[in-house]
Chains A and B, each alone.
Chain A
Amino acid sequence: MSVSTHTRRDQIWIGAGLYTYLGITLAVPLLVIFLWTIYDPAVGWFPPDIVPSSYSVSAWREVLADRQIIPSGVLSIIIAVIVTTATGILAFPTAWALAQFPFRLKRAVEVFVLAPLIVPGIVVAQGGRVGLRDQVAPQAIHDDGDDAAGGAGSVDGAHASVPLRAKWKMS
């Protein structure tokens, strides 16, 4: 065991605390969300029931019966991979140049490169509307406004292929 600033007993307590935190903030919410996917809509799930009184896979069946879902999901993953690769290809030479060469205006280039992080996503999405048809732009806002996960996040908008095409154009 490597040297630590904390004793073994303290570490057990800290571990227990960390996992309790994870249980409350992550496991419970995800479990409740999952229960909402398998409650029986014909019976409902009303207070004071803490868990549904009746279960059904109808929602899942409906989702999986939708022929759009799997192609949309695959398309989302393809887009995410392309976006990641393209970002890498574009970013690597820039990062290398910034690390390698001292030059005037270096700070300005740095700030410009970081600017998309600084300017709120919704503003960029508005600007990106130029050249986009109006009806596809709203989804672009949804995706860019709140989605830390970037390309992969478009899985949630995968029901319709139009938003995905918008994502494609935006990217």
Chain B
Amino acid sequence: MSEGRVKLSVLLLCLAPGGGFLLLLFGLPLVRVLIGSFTDASGAFPTLSTWQRLLTTPVYLDGLWYSLWLGLAPTIVSLLISLPLSALMQANETTQKLFGALYRIPLVVPGIVAGFIVLVLLDRGGTVSRLLAPFGLSLPRLVRDPWGLGAIIASSWKNIPFMTLIIAGSMAAINKDVLLAARTLGASRLTILWRIQLPLAKPGVTAAVLLTFIGSLGSFVIPSLLGPSYPLPLSVHMYMEGFQKGNWPMVYAMGTLLSVCAIGVLLAYYAVIGRIGRTPGGGRQRGGTA
């Protein structure tokens, strides 16, 4: 057997277990979802009627926008907190280890507990409003409010450690000599952050943003616990359509739509990463493998 053939066999052998597993338990169900979206409640196939209903019914369209909002808002909030947190973690060496272990705790706290935390702290009559009451202050409505602020806070609470983990990891990988050289040459700390640390950590930052957005886009427990009764995100609509109305074609169409949104974001991500690779100073690294 030629060397090329041996290599090919080894390659296929290595890819078979993981790839086969994914094909069977991820690829096939996904195809099933896609095909299912082109049926209707009576079982007719192929038909566009389910898609037509999904894309013309205001309740569902509001659901789509709301899903995108609940994906986007926690991502922005998490990024605004994770970036300084990651940078400060690099700066502080003495407390880094203990802090590095403690800040990850929300990662292992289930979503429903995160929702419950927001409920007992920030709902009307919750701990924070009890603390503010003696000063004559009151919290705005944060639970079941139209903007989903409670859901955004709970989702961010869970996502900040995740983002920080990835971003701080990318920042820690930057050679410290570069930072020290910049400091010696008179760069301020903000300049170092803005001109060196952020550009070099960009692949990590974009990967973290992408994964947080997609995770929040399909989240189910947090919006159903803390979100308003209208609009509902598509994930909650999927549950209701499926398990309460038995309308599975609609569930499949909604699932496909959510996936299309996520894939759209991914393609945008690759476009951004590709551009980073071409700009000077943005090391050609591959993101997304985090």
Instruction: Tell me how far the C-beta of A57 lies from the nearest C-beta in chain B, rounded to whole angstroms.
Output: 19
Main secondary structure of the interface of B (DSSP, over half): helix
Q: Mark interface residues in A9-35 (1 if CB within 8 Å of B CB, else 0).
A: 011101101110110011011101100
B32 close to A130 (CB less than 8 A): yes
Residues of B within 8 Å of A32, CB to CB, are: 117, 120-121, 127
A128 close to B29 (CB less than 8 A): yes
Q: Report how far A1 CA is from B235 CA in the complex, Å.
A: 51
Q: Is B30 an interface residue (CB 8 A)?
A: yes
B120 close to A118 (CB less than 8 A): no
Q: Mark interface residues in A110-151 (1 if CB within 8 Å of B CB, else 0).
A: 001111111111111011111000100110011001111100
From B95, B158, B221, B239, give the contact of A18 (CB < 8 A).
B95
Instruction: Tell me how far the C-beta of A102 lies from the nearest C-beta in chain B, rounded to whole angstroms.
Output: 10
Interface residues of A in 38-78 (CB under 8 A from B): 46-50
Q: Is A81 an interface residue (CB 8 A)?
A: no
The residue in chain A whose Cβ has the minimal distance to the Cβ of B26 is A116
Contacts A36-B120, A127-B29, A156-B113 given; indicate if A122 touches B14 (C-beta within 8 A): no
Q: Is B204 an interface residue (CB 8 A)?
A: no
A94 close to B17 (CB less than 8 A): yes
A138 close to B239 (CB less than 8 A): yes
Residues of A within 8 Å of B263, CB to CB, are: 118-119
A121 close to B218 (CB less than 8 A): yes
B29 close to A124 (CB less than 8 A): yes
A19 close to B215 (CB less than 8 A): no
Contacts A15-B95, A146-B112, A148-B107 given; indicate if A128 touches B25 (C-beta within 8 A): yes
Interface residues on B, range: 35 or more
B220 close to A141 (CB less than 8 A): yes
B18 close to A113 (CB less than 8 A): yes
Residues of A within 8 Å of B26, CB to CB, are: 115-116, 119, 124, 127
The residue in chain B whose Cβ has the minimal distance to the Cβ of A149 is B108
Q: Report how far A12 CA is from B94 CA in the complex, Å.
A: 8
A6 close to B130 (CB less than 8 A): no
- Contact stretch, chosen from B40-48, B56-64, B98-106, B139-147: B98-106
Contacts A5-B183, A19-B95 given; indicate if A101 touches B88 (C-beta within 8 A): no
Residues of A within 8 Å of B55, CB to CB, are: none
The residue in chain A whose Cβ has the minimal distance to the Cβ of B115 is A146
Instruction: Tell me how far the C-beta of A36 lies from the nearest C-beta in chain B, rounded to whole angstroms.
Output: 6
B220 close to A122 (CB less than 8 A): yes
The residue in chain B whose Cβ has the minimal distance to the Cβ of A134 is B243
Q: Is B266 an interface residue (CB 8 A)?
A: yes
B252 close to A126 (CB less than 8 A): yes
Q: Is B52 an interface residue (CB 8 A)?
A: no
Q: Is A109 an interface residue (CB 8 A)?
A: yes
Q: Mark interface residues in B81-98 (1 if CB within 8 Å of A CB, else 0).
A: 000010011011111000
The residue in chain A whose Cβ has the minimal distance to the Cβ of B127 is A32
Residues of B within 8 Å of A14, CB to CB, are: 88, 91-92
Interface residues, chain B, with chain A CB atoms under 8 Å away:
7, 10-11, 13-15, 17-19, 21-22, 25-30, 32-33, 85, 88-89, 91-95, 99, 102-103, 105-113, 116-117, 120-121, 125, 127, 129-131, 133-134, 157-158, 160, 162, 176, 179-180, 183, 189, 192, 211, 214-215, 217-222, 235, 238-239, 242-243, 251-252, 255-256, 258-259, 262-263, 266, 288-289
Interface residues, chain A, with chain B CB atoms under 8 Å away:
1-6, 10-12, 14-15, 17-19, 21-22, 25-26, 28-30, 32-33, 36, 46-50, 89-91, 93-94, 96-97, 100-101, 103, 109, 112-124, 126-130, 134, 137-138, 141-142, 145-149, 152-153, 155-156
Task: List 15 contacting pairs A-B, 8 Å CB cutoff, sorted by A.
Answer: A5-B189, A10-B91, A14-B88, A33-B116, A47-B125, A109-B15, A118-B259, A120-B235, A126-B29, A126-B238, A137-B243, A145-B219, A149-B108, A155-B110, A156-B113
Q: Knowing that A93-B15, A120-B235 are A-B contacts, what are 10 other residue pairs whose CB atoms are under 8 Å apart, sorted by A's residue number?
A: A5-B91, A28-B121, A126-B29, A128-B29, A129-B29, A142-B221, A145-B220, A145-B235, A146-B111, A156-B112
